Structure 1
Amino acid sequence: MEVYSERQRISNAVEVLKERQLTVGLVPTMGALHEGHLALVRRALDDNDIVVVSVFVNPTQFDNQDDLEKYPRTLKHDVALLEEVDRERILVYAPSVEDIYEGNTISQKFDFDGLEYEMEGKFRSGHFDGVGTIVKRFFEIIKPHKAYFGEKDFQQLQIIKKLVEKNNIPVAIIGCEIYRETNGLAMSSRNVRLKPEYKEVAPFIYKTLLAAKDKFGIESASEVVKWVESQFSKQDLLRLEYFIIADTNTLKPVEEKTNKKSYRAFIAVYADDIRLIDNIALN
């Protein structure tokens, strides 16, 4: 399996493939790959002739320097996992910070029509500017036909769709359903850092989301929010940062339900110092 570390080399390699009329998919990751990532890669392989998997821990989307430093970096293991999926049709792009940012490691400023100010945007300053910067950079370097993102980061998915729309980038954005562990916990690279007692209690997050979905059918959004907050107040090991029921398209919190709109519940929880996010469609 070919592993590229320089943007010009991966760009040239992809250009040759496209000249042969082959379709190219992109799966952007920050590495520490798990089955959730591999599910995205398999979906991309179903849709495309070749798939580029980027492995890059992007410094500009971290508002917490400690979180950046602790983020697992396991390139050798990541490549081994990808080789088990397909040795011939996957290219890995694992650049350095210098290769991406050329000595200017700052975010571009974006306007995502307000999507960036909801939920995660209220708690992670500058995060979505960092996401927009790196994803746009990958689109410019690789020029894929399609790019694949998991719905676990649903707000990010909506923002990337907005990025493509507002910048007229010729790539189709494909959202893929959340891949979960057998206990329901949304799969994340951060899960490996959970201490045993927190790993044991973490499935409570998804269990609560499922219950909230049931309640949303018969109760108001504000009643469901209060109920979820009360459930987490009884949990000693999990600290609720936010639970929000929002319009799927605008991501703005629901004030009054209507059958004409689709809604989603979003949650962020701290298990010790590990921040876990999840979401679920409500209707």
Structure 2
Amino acid sequence: MKLIKSIHELRTALQREERPVSFVPTMGALHPGHLALVKEAAANNDAVVMSIFVNPLQFNDKRDYDAYPETLDDDISQAEAAGVAYLFLPALNELYPAGPDGMSTYIHVTKGVDVLCGAHRPGHFNGVATVVMKLLQIVAPERAYFGRKDAQQAAVVENMVQDYHVVTDIVTVPTVRESDGLAMSSRNVRLNPEERADAPEIYRALQKMKAVYEQDPFSPETGRGMLQRSVNGKVEYAEVRTYPELELPADDYQGKMLLACAVQYDHARLIDNIMWTRKEEEHVS
């Protein structure tokens, strides 16, 4: 595995690469969920590029940015063991030479960001879209891999790539979970023992809510109340949307469905979701 810190060095290396290039963007603090993306990317015998960059533009709270875990030595070891060919480790001034606030253009996401996490984190997905667009332009991969746990992020990226005719296929990979069902996240380490015991109830509740929704669709307000009765953390939202449009589904909607939620504990905000495909015979009259 090659460690690369400059855009020029990465582009030069990839120009010499004879295999197709796949890309896994991360912010580090790697866990098996990230490694599942690498495994999926490497399954095609691609040259896998992973980036580790904590992007300040997507943090609404600077304290959250400053507190983001740094585990670089362990991340390097995990990436190499997983089969990453190129680990891109840009400094802040490499991706933002004029500083994060010094660019003349930014991606402004106009659809699908006033709901779910976007309703509680204004500007967050502008930051995500901007840095992902930068990284896609730098790496120019055939495929880029994103986890379905961050379903709204994946939807924003899919829609952006389509809007801007980016020649990269976006591949989403199922959420990796702990043995008790908790979605793996770098934020899980912030949970105290009582919260860690409570957090797996999020996924269990979502499974029950999906079954209810298929028989009797409920409103976002009802969904939030249903989840709140199952967990001790504060539920921000729990609602069903179409995917990747992130719109409220019409009664006759056919296609991908997303039941997504966010739960705030004392020092960790956890997100999770269930995705499925609604078929004609499943419609509720």
Find the counterpart in structure 2 of residue 52 from structure 1: 49
Deviation at 1:260, TM superposition (A): 2.6
Q: Deviations over 1:180-199 (max 9, x none)?
A: 11111111111122111111
Contact 1:202 1:271 in 2 (8 A): no
Find the counterpart in structure 2 of residue 273 from structure 1: 267
Q: Deviations over 1:90-138 (max 9, x none)?
A: 2100111111100221374435451222222211111111111111111
2:222 maps to 1:226: yes
State the one-letter code of the partner of 1:262. K
The aligned runs of 1:146-161 (5 Å cut-off) are 146-161=143-158
2:85 maps to 1:95: no
* C-alpha spacing 1:85/1:260, structure 2 compared with 1 (3 Å): closer
2:200 maps to 1:203: yes
Distance 1:48 1:24 in 2: 9
State the one-letter code of the partner of 1:277. I
Distance 2:150 2:158 in 1: 13
Deviation at 1:234, TM superposition (A): 6.3
2:189 maps to 1:192: yes
The aligned runs of 1:4-15 (5 Å cut-off) are 4-15=4-15
* C-alpha spacing 1:139/1:267, structure 2 compared with 1 (3 Å): same
Distance 1:259 1:140 in 2: 35
Contact 2:20 2:46 in 1 (8 A): yes
Unaligned runs of 5+ in 2: 279-285
Distance 2:134 2:52 in 1: 13
Distance 2:23 2:227 in 1: 39
Q: Indicate the RMSD between aligned Cα atoms, in angstroms.
A: 1.8
Distance 1:142 1:84 in 2: 21
Secondary structure of 1:148 counterpart: strand
Contact 2:240 2:248 in 1 (8 A): yes
Deviation at 1:230, TM superposition (A): 4.2
State the one-letter code of the partner of 2:159. K
Q: Deviations over 1:210-264 (max 9, x none)?
A: 0001111211222x852651451464x311011111122321234x432534321
Instruction: Pick the aligned partner of 2:37 from 23, 37, 40.
Output: 40
The aligned runs of 1:43-192 (5 Å cut-off) are 43-86=40-83, 90-106=85-101, 108-192=105-189
Secondary structure of 2:113 counterpart: helix
| Alignment size in residue pairs | 275
Contact 2:109 2:126 in 1 (8 A): no
Using structure 1 for the length normalisation, give the TM-score: 0.91
Distance 1:12 1:38 in 2: 25
Deviation at 1:84, TM superposition (A): 1.9
Deviation at 1:167, TM superposition (A): 1.5
Distance 1:56 1:274 in 2: 20
Distance 1:76 1:212 in 2: 40
Deviation at 1:152, TM superposition (A): 0.7
Secondary structure of 1:278 counterpart: strand
State the one-letter code of the partner of 2:92. V
Secondary structure of 1:104 counterpart: coil
Instruction: Give the percent of matched residue pairs that are identical in Structure 1 and Structure 2.
Output: 34
Runs of 4+ in 1 over 4 A off after TM superposition: none
Distance 2:162 2:108 in 1: 12
Secondary structure of 2:261 counterpart: strand
Distance 1:72 1:126 in 2: 22
State the one-letter code of the partner of 2:12. N
Contact 1:27 1:52 in 2 (8 A): yes
* C-alpha spacing 1:133/1:110, structure 2 compared with 1 (3 Å): closer
Distance 1:199 1:267 in 2: 17
